Chains A and B, each alone.
Chain A
Amino acid sequence: MFNELGETIKIAFDAIRTAKLRSMLASLGVVIGISFVILMGWILTGLDNAMQDTFDMIGTDMLYIDKHNWAGGSNWKEMRQRKDITLNQAKDFCERIESAEIAVPVIRTRRSQIKYKGQAYQASFIGTVSEHSIISSKNIASGRFFTGFEDNLSANVMVIGHKIAETVFPNEEPIGKIIKIKGRKLEIIGVMKKQGTMMMDFVDLQCYVPIKKFLSIYGRDRSFEIAVKAGSEEKLDEVRDEAQGLFREIRNLKPWAKDDFSINETKAFEEMVKSVRTTVWSIGLLMTGLSFIVGIIGIINIMFVSVTERTKEIGVRKAVGAKKRSIWLQFIIESAVLCFSGALISLIMCSVLVFAVATILPQSVPEVSFLSPTLSYELLITASLVSIFVGIVAGLIPAVRAANMDPVIAIRSD
C-alpha cells in the first residue's frame, strides 16, 4: 500500500510536469482562492496582534468606573441622567478599595488644542494623580511620569502621547520643551510609548497632567472616572464585585436601585474590533468562496481531460493488476498535487506581496503599520491543507470515472 502510494505521488508529479502550462492555467482559480485565504488571514492576524498589543499596553486587568458605559449599552438616555462622579467620590473609592492593586481618579477632555511655536495641534488630556504611574510607567518611552510632589503643587508639567510627540516634534527631543494650553505653559517631562493601532489611535493622542492643573485649566464641571488596576486578569471578577458594592455605598444607592454608574473593561474595545473582524471575514469568505468555485470547476475540467487523455494508460495499468482503488487514488493524488502546486505558487506570490506592502505602505499610511511583513507558519499550513482538500474534492468525479473504466475498452483506445 505504501510502496504504491509513493509511486503514485511520483506519477502525479510527472503527469503535471509534462503539461506545465496547462496545469498552471487550470490551477489559476485555486491560486487566486488560496491567495485570498492567505491575505485575509494575514490581515486578520495583524489586526488581532495589534489589538492584543494595545490591550497589553493598556492592561487587560483594568476596570474603569465611569458614568457612561463604553460599550454603548442599551439606555443612553438613562446614562445621561446619571449624576456626575465627583472628585470626592472618586478619592473616597480609591482609599477604600482593598482587592485592587491600585485605583486612581481620572478626568479627561475629548479634544483640546495645544500650541507649540505658534502652531496649533489637537490632543486630548487626562488629569490624574502621580500614582497613575503604577499603571502607566511601563508605557513611558522616555522621561518620567509626574511625582506626588508635582501633583500636590499643581506643577506645570505634562506627559505627552506618542502621536503628539511625533507630529509636534518630528525632528526634536520633546522633553524639556514648553507647550501652551489655553494660555498656560506646561513643560514636557515624559513621552508615552506607541499604544494605539489603526482602530485605537486616539490612545496616542492622550496627554497626562496633574489633576489639580487639569481642574484649573478646564474647570470642575465634568464627571470623574476611576481607573482600577486589578493586578491580574484572574482577579478581575473579585475586584469588580468589590468595586460595585463599594461604589454603590459611596453613591448612597438604595438596595433596590439600579447602578447609576458603569464598570468598563478593556473588553469593551474588543466588541468594536469584532465587528471589523466580521466585516473582513465576510468579504474575504465571499471572495474566497467564489474563486474556489471557479477554481474547482477548472480543476474538475482539467482532470477530466487528463483522464480521457490517458484512457489507454488506465487500461494498461488495469491489465497489469491495478485495482479500482489504485486508479482512483492516482487521479485523486494528481488533482491534490495540482492544487497544492497552485498553493505553492500563491504562497510565494503572497509572501513577496506581503513583504512589499508591509514595508512600503506604512511609510505613507502609518495606520497600517500593524501588518506583519511575514506570513505565519499556521497560515501557510492552513493554506496548503485547504488546497489539498480542494484538490481531493475536485478530483473525486474524474477519479471515479477513471477507476470504473472497462479495461478491455480502455486498452483499445488511442
Chain B
Amino acid sequence: MTDSNKIIIDIENIAKIYKMGFEIVHALRKVSLKIRQNEYLAIIGPSGSGKSTLMNILGCLDTPTLGNYHFKEKDVNFMDDNDVAEIRNQEIGFVFQTFNLLARSTAAKNVELPLVYGGVTASERKQRAEQTLINVGLGDRMDHKPNELSGGQRQRVAVARALVTNPSIILADEPTGNLDTKTGVEIMKLFNDLWEKGNTIIVVTHEESVAKHAHRIIRLRDGLIECDEVNDNPAHDFEIKEIIES
C-alpha cells in the first residue's frame, strides 16, 4: 500500500452535452473528481443523473464535450483512437449490467478476449484466462457457453474478463442489476475481495444497498456531484445474508 495515494483518474470540470433532435441535453454539467489507487468508490444517482455518461467517460468509451481528463497523468483528450483503445485494454476492466459476453464463445474464450487485443500469445492467453476463472470460482465452468451458465456465473465470467489484464481500475455498471438478491450479494463480496487484494473499484449504481459496500460514495443529480463522502462503515453483510437464505 506504499503508493495508495497515487492518483489514477483526474477529471476537471467535465461536461457532456448531447443533441437529441432539437433538444440539447446536459448529461454532465461540471464534474471534477480524483480517484486514487485502491479506492472502492460508488457512484450513485437516479436515472438521468448522468452516472452512465460519467462511467463511459471514465472508461474512455466516450469523450467529454468540455473539461480535462488525465488518466495516470496522461491527457486522454489528446489521444487518438488507438491510444484510447490501448488504455481500455490495459488499464480498465469493464463489468456491465447485462454481462455482455460473446454468446458463441466459451467462458474461457470470453475471458481471453482482452488478451487477444493485447497481443498475448495463445498459450499464455489460455493459461491466464483459466487462472482468472479459478480465482473467481469458476474453475469447473471454463468450457461452458454463456447460455449454459447462471446469471451469477455469467457475471463472474464478466468480472474475470475485466480482471484478466490486471487493469488499474475496474468499472462496474450496475453489476447486480440483472441478478437476484443472493447472487447480487455474492458478486458484491467478490468485489470486496478484489478490493482487499489491492484493486481499484468503481461501481455505478442506483441502489443504496449496493453503494453502501463502497468506502467512498459520490452522489450525482442532474449532471452535478451532489455530495462526495467517505463511508466510514462499509457494509460487510455477505455471510449473514447467506446464512439467512440457506
| Interface residue ranges, A against B (CB under 8 Å) | 1, 3-4, 6-7, 14, 18, 312-313, 315-326, 407-408, 411
Q: Contact check: which of B90, B121, B122, B125 meets A321 at CB < 8 Å? A: B90
Cα distance A319–B165 in the bound complex, in angstroms: 13
Residue with the greatest number of chain B CB neighbours at <10 A, chosen from A316, A317, A319: A319
Q: Which 6 residue pairs spanning A and B have beta carbons closest together?
A: A321-B89, A320-B114, A323-B85, A321-B117, A321-B88, A316-B100
14 example contacts (A-B, Cβ-Cβ < 8 A) are as follows A1-B119, A3-B125, A4-B117, A316-B102, A318-B85, A319-B61, A320-B89, A320-B114, A321-B90, A322-B89, A322-B117, A323-B81, A324-B85, A408-B56
Taking the closest CB of chain A, its distance from the CB of B64, in whole angstroms, is 13
Judging by beta carbons under 8 Å apart, are A7 and B116 in contact?
Answer: yes
Contacts of B14 in A (CB 8 A): none
Task: Bin the interface of chain B by size.
Answer: 20 to 34
Complex contact B82–A313 (CB within 8 A): no
Give the complex CA separation of A316 and B114 in angstroms.
Answer: 10
Q: Please encode chain B, from 24 to 46, with 1 for each CB lying within 8 Å of some chain A CB and 0 for all others.
A: 00000000000000000000000
A317 contacts B119, C-beta separation under 8 Å: no
A325 engages B82 (CB within 8 Å): yes
B161 located at the interface, meaning its Cβ lies under 8 Å from any Cβ of chain A in the complex: yes
How far is the CB of B18 from the nearest CB of chain A, in Å? 11
Is B117 within 8 A of A317, CB to CB?
yes
Determine whether B19 belongs to the interface, using a CB cutoff of 8 Å to chain A. Answer: no
Chain A residues with CB below 8 A from B161, complex form: 320
Chain B residues with CB under 8 Å of A318's CB are: 61, 85, 88
Which residues in B have their C-beta under 8 angstroms from that of A312?
Answer: 100
Q: Is the CB of A18 within 8 A of B117?
A: no
The 0/1 profile, CB within 8 Å of A marked 1, for residues 206-219 of chain B is 00000000000000
State whether B88 touches A319 (Cβ < 8 A): yes
Cα A3 to Cα B121 with chains together (Å): 6
- Complex contact B122–A3 (CB within 8 A): yes
- Residue of B61, B102, B121, B165 near A313 (CB, 8 A) is B102
A411 touches B96 (CB 8 A): yes
Pick the residue among A6, A18, A323 that contacts B82 (CB under 8 A). Answer: A323
Q: Which of B56, B61, B90, B117 contacts A323 (CB 8 A)?
A: B117
The A interface is mostly helix, strand or loop, or mixed, namely helix
**In the bound complex, CA of A321 to CA of B93 (Å):** 10
Residues of chain B within 8 A (CB-CB) of A407 are: 61
Q: Mark each residue of chain B from 93 to 120: 1 if its CB lies under 8 Å from any CB of chain A, else 0.
A: 0101000111010000000011011111
* Interface set, chain B 52-100, CB cutoff 8 A to A: 56, 59, 61-62, 81-82, 85-86, 88-90, 94, 96, 100
Q: Are B88's CB and A14's CB within 8 A?
A: no
Report yes or no: A321 in contact with B104, Cβ–Cβ below 8 A.
no
| CB closest residue in chain B, given A326 | B117
User: Cβ of B121: which chain A residues have Cβ within 8 Å of it?
Assistant: 3
Compute how far the CA of A1 lies from the CA of B165 in the bound complex, rounded to whole angstroms.
17
Q: Which of B104, B116, B119, B120 has the most CB of A within 10 A?
A: B116
Closest to A411 in B: B100
Tell me if B88 and A320 are in contact (CB < 8 A): yes
Instruction: Tell me how far the C-beta of B160 lies from the nearest C-beta in chain A, rounded to whole angstroms.
Output: 12
Chain A residue at smallest Cβ distance from B55: A408
Residues of chain B with a CB closer than 8 A to A325's CB: 82
Contact between B119 and A321, CB atoms less than 8 A apart? no
Instruction: Give, as a whole number of angstroms, the nearest-CB distance from B5 to chain A.
Output: 27
User: Would A18 and B96 count as touching, CB distance under 8 A?
Assistant: no
Q: Is the CB of B94 within 8 A of A320?
A: yes
Q: What B residues does A313 contact at CB under 8 A?
A: 102
Q: Nearest chain B CB to A177's CB is how many angstroms away?
A: 75
